[in-house]
Amino acid sequence: MKQVFAITRGMLPVDTSYCPGCTHGVAHRLIMECLEELGELDNTIAVSPIGCSIVAHQYMNIDMCESAHGRAPAVASGIRRVHPDKVVFTYQGDGDLASIGVGEIIHAAHRGEKVTTFFINNAIYGMTGGQMAPTTLLGQRATTAINGRTKESNGSPLRMCELLATIDGAVFVERVALNSPGNVRKAKKAVMKAFEVQKNGLGFSFVEFLSSCPTNWGRAPYEAMEFIKEEMIPYYPLGNFRKPEEF
């Protein structure tokens, strides 16, 4: 019998602790598959964030370190300076990247650090139980905005791809979604391109994944996928915002 699919060597053979319907598992798998296909699993060093995915190092079969909340791009910059020839990436949630870490992500992009950041945007704070994130949508409820986010009280949600695309050093910026098989396939292509940009030494690469948090959205997994499609994608349009000419 011909084997047409196998779990990537890049994922350790353990069950993840993520909730049913959480797309962290999908995002992890796409990244590890790409690294395996590129033959770079043994040459990769990554930084896991504060958030649900601080445990990413329990699942990703590569050298990893934890980082303080938001600081992953700075940590990755330090790693990259010591190892100019390895693949370095950060994996960060929306509180980590768009709130406390907004300074570090902008400056890593500004310096054109040759690292890749994967941004898991699920419009809520997961690990801490559902508080509002900078990317929580207007009208969306959260434990620190129980009647729904309003522009007057909380400002409009932050669009990170659009923001980073204005920075010269951010040479590859793309937003994808994990709500459907078609979108997952496109997401994998973006991950692959982001790594190729890094390997070619072109600058900072960034992929934002519109992701789900069924538990804190108070929705079943299938409804969570609908939420991404009906509510998130209209506000956070999918597509490429910047890429090098040759791509």
Partner 1 sequence: MEKVLMKGNEAFAEAAIRGGAGFYFGYPITPQNEIPEYMSHELEKAGGSFIQAESELAAVNMAYGAAAAGGSVFISTSSPGVALMQEGISFMCSSEVPVVMLNVSRGGPGVGGIQPGQADYFQATRGGGNGDYHVPVFAPASIQEAIDMIYGAFEIADKYQNPVMILADGMLGQMMEPVSLPEAKRMATYEEIRANKPWAITGKGPRSERNVIKSLRLQPDVLEAHIHRLFEKYDRMEKELVRYETYGEPDPEIVFVAFGTVARLVAETMDILTERGYKAGMIRPVTLWPFPFDAFARISDKTRLVVSVELSMGQLLTDVKAAVCGRVPVGLINRTGGVVPTPVEIADRAIKQLKALD
CB of 173 to partner 1, least distance (A): 19
Query: Which of 75/133 has CB closer to partner 1?
Result: 75
**Residue spans of beta strands (DSSP E) within the chain:** 44-48, 63-66, 87-93, 116-121, 170-177, 204-210, 239-242
CB of 80 to partner 1, least distance (A): 8
> Quick one: which of 177, 224, 198 has its CA closest to 45?
198
Query: Which of 61/179 has CB closer to partner 1?
Result: 61
> Quick one: which of 150, 157, 89 has its CA closest to 124?
157
DSSP class of residue 41?
G
Query: Which of 45/164 has CB closer to partner 1?
Result: 45
- Residue 197 tokens, joined: 């940009």
Positions in the binding site for partner 1 (CB under 8 A): 41-45, 47, 54, 57, 61-68, 71, 74-79, 81-83, 86-87, 103-104, 106-107, 110-111
CB of 95 to partner 1, least distance (A): 16
The tokens 């959480």 sit on which residue?
Answer: 22
> Quick one: which of 109, 65, 114, 112 has its CA closest to 91?
65
Query: Which of 80/188 has CB closer to partner 1?
Result: 80
CB of 41 to partner 1, least distance (A): 7
Query: Which of 19/100 has CB closer to partner 1?
Result: 100
CB of 104 to partner 1, least distance (A): 6
What are the φ/ψ torsions at residue 100 (nearest 5 degrees)? -65, -25
Query: Which of 123/167 has CB closer to partner 1?
Result: 167
DSSP, residue by residue, 175-235: EEE-SSHHHHHHHHHHHHHHHHHHHTT--EEEEEEE---HHHHT--HHHHHHHIIIIIHHH
Query: Which of 15/246 has CB closer to partner 1?
Result: 15
CB of 170 to partner 1, least distance (A): 15
CB of 126 to partner 1, least distance (A): 15
Q: Which residues contact 14 (CB under 8 A, 6 or more apart)?
A: 58, 59
d(C-alpha 221, C-alpha 179), whole Å: 10
Sign of the Cα pseudo-torsion (54, 57, 60, 65, in order):
positive
